[in-house]
Copies of this chain bind each other. A is one copy, B any other.
Amino acid sequence: MRAMPTRSLPRRLLLGPGPSNVHPRVLAAMGQPLLGHLDPAFLEILDRVQAGLADLFGVRAGLTLPIPTTGSGGMEACFANLLEPGDAIVVGVAGVFGTRMCEVAQRMGAQVSRVDSEWGSPLHAERVAEKVEEIRPRVVAFVHAETSTGVQQPVEAIAQAARRVDALVVLDCVTSLGGLPVSLEDWGVDAAYSGTQKCLSCPPGLSPLHFSPRALARVQARQRPVQNWYLDAGLLAGYFGEERVYHHTAPISAIFGLAEALDMIAEEGMPQRILRHQEASRSLLDGMTALGFAPLVAVDHRLPMLNALEIPEAIRESTGGEAGFRRRLLENYGVEVGGGLGPLAGRIWRVGLMGENARLTSVEALLSVLQRELR
């Protein structure tokens, strides 16, 4: 007989780029017996989840829904609905997820123009605006909180430039939603996606998604049907709208968990939650700097929930290098931190303080472990 996972799982403090730890209330909600996906009692919960997500996204109209994919599936959904083969898109790229946007759009047959900034720096809004003016694309897309670098991007200036040429704006909110202020309607963003495993502190597996009325009109006006049946916003609207027509079988337990997490966010209030993320980050940076780490990102553009820190020599040169050092933290103390990606691999750590983990206790636990190991 194989060992039962429920009896043998180690405990972890998840301070990487996600998933983050989940509150026991959310786990308990997910552990409730199932309801059917057309059961009125379930649809009531789904209504609440959709309304709660709309609040977080800062929208009062359009279609807001949790789709059964991870965050990358949300990216796929936005592009699959808003792009047709041959459409032009301008993508702001300053990390892994901007790069991924280019690849996803390219595969759909779009004409991709990218405007790059150095990894660790924010997008240069004026350079993006110039490219948008030049290309006059169908879609302008970029990442709000770039998880690979810890940079917060300038949203409004780029969105305004896009609106001037009547382009639709797609924003990746995977790491920002639930931890940073998000106001899609005020900003003029037409479509956005997130993931549940970052600042919402649910398990991975759902992507909160929003399409503005303008985005939905674009989907309606397509010349060809959306290539992706599963992610077609028109079909999704049948189930996630008033009709509640069967499209796919909604992931009941994950929705229970998300409902509970959204209740907890409403109880805490977003202003307090945002403040909590900022305080935890400040405390982390103080402690890590004292240990020889250096913030990668300039102070005005740092993400509080994803702290990119250049690794001191002592760790880079320890047995097994920085990856071996992270492995020891995981195995000996149950503490997970993230490594760098792409050009930043081996050079930075990414320390996530997301949702439930954005607390001084998480910060102190990490600092204490590092002090002991570096002593």
The reply to whether A104 and B229 contact each other, CB–CB distance below 8 Å, is yes
The reply to whether B204 and A252 contact each other, CB–CB distance below 8 Å, is yes
The reply to whether A32 and B6 contact each other, CB–CB distance below 8 Å, is yes
Enumerate chain B residues within 8 angstroms of A73, measured Cβ to Cβ.
68-69, 230, 248
Given contacts A249-B18, A253-B203, contact A230 B76 (CB under 8 A): yes
Given contacts A5-B29, A33-B22, contact A248 B70 (CB under 8 A): yes
State which of A176-184, A211-219, A260-268, A291-299 sits at the interface with chain B: A260-268
Enumerate chain B residues within 8 angstroms of A263, measured Cβ to Cβ.
1-2, 4-5
The reply to whether B266 and A2 contact each other, CB–CB distance below 8 Å, is yes
The reply to whether B34 and A31 contact each other, CB–CB distance below 8 Å, is no
**A69 to B251, alpha carbons, bound, how many Å?**
9
Enumerate chain B residues within 8 angstroms of A172, measured Cβ to Cβ.
none
Report 15 cross-chain contacts, Cβ distance below 8 Å, ordered by A residue. Answer: A9-B32, A11-B33, A12-B35, A14-B36, A19-B37, A19-B252, A22-B34, A30-B30, A36-B336, A37-B204, A70-B249, A103-B229, A107-B226, A204-B251, A253-B257
Q: Which of B19, B107, B252, B253 has a CB less than 8 Å from the CB of A34?
A: B19
Given contacts A2-B48, A330-B39, contact A205 B33 (CB under 8 A): no
Enumerate chain B residues within 8 angstroms of A367, measured Cβ to Cβ.
none
Indicate if A119 sits at the interface (CB-CB under 8 A).
Answer: no
Contact with B along A29-54 (1 / 0, CB 8 A): 11111111101110001001000000
Contact with B along A190-222 (1 / 0, CB 8 A): 000001010000011100000000000000000
**A4 to B264, alpha carbons, bound, how many Å?**
10
Enumerate chain B residues within 8 angstroms of A12, measured Cβ to Cβ.
33-36, 39
The reply to whether B33 and A31 contact each other, CB–CB distance below 8 Å, is no
**A32 to B24, alpha carbons, bound, how many Å?**
9
| Given contact pairs A6-B260, A40-B330, A75-B230, a sample of 9 additional A-B residue pairs in the complex whose CB atoms are under 8 Å apart | A2-B266, A19-B252, A27-B32, A30-B31, A103-B229, A104-B230, A108-B227, A195-B249, A204-B252
**A10 to B68, alpha carbons, bound, how many Å?**
23
Enumerate chain B residues within 8 angstroms of A4, measured Cβ to Cβ.
29, 260, 263
Enumerate chain B residues within 8 angstroms of A254, measured Cβ to Cβ.
203, 205, 251, 253-254
**A80 to B253, alpha carbons, bound, how many Å?**
28
Contact-residue bracket for chain A? 35 or more
Indicate if A60 sits at the interface (CB-CB under 8 A).
Answer: no
**A263 to B9, alpha carbons, bound, how many Å?**
15
Chain B residue nearest to A16 (CB atoms) is B36
**A71 to B28, alpha carbons, bound, how many Å?**
25
Give residues 240-290 of A contacting B (CB, 8 Å). 246-254, 256-257, 259-260, 263, 266-267
Enumerate chain B residues within 8 angstroms of A34, measured Cβ to Cβ.
12, 14, 19-22, 203
The reply to whether B69 and A230 contact each other, CB–CB distance below 8 Å, is yes
Indicate if A100 sits at the interface (CB-CB under 8 A).
Answer: yes
* 5 tightest A-B CB contacts, nearest first: A205-B251, A203-B253, A31-B31, A204-B249, A76-B230
Indicate if A225 sits at the interface (CB-CB under 8 A).
Answer: yes
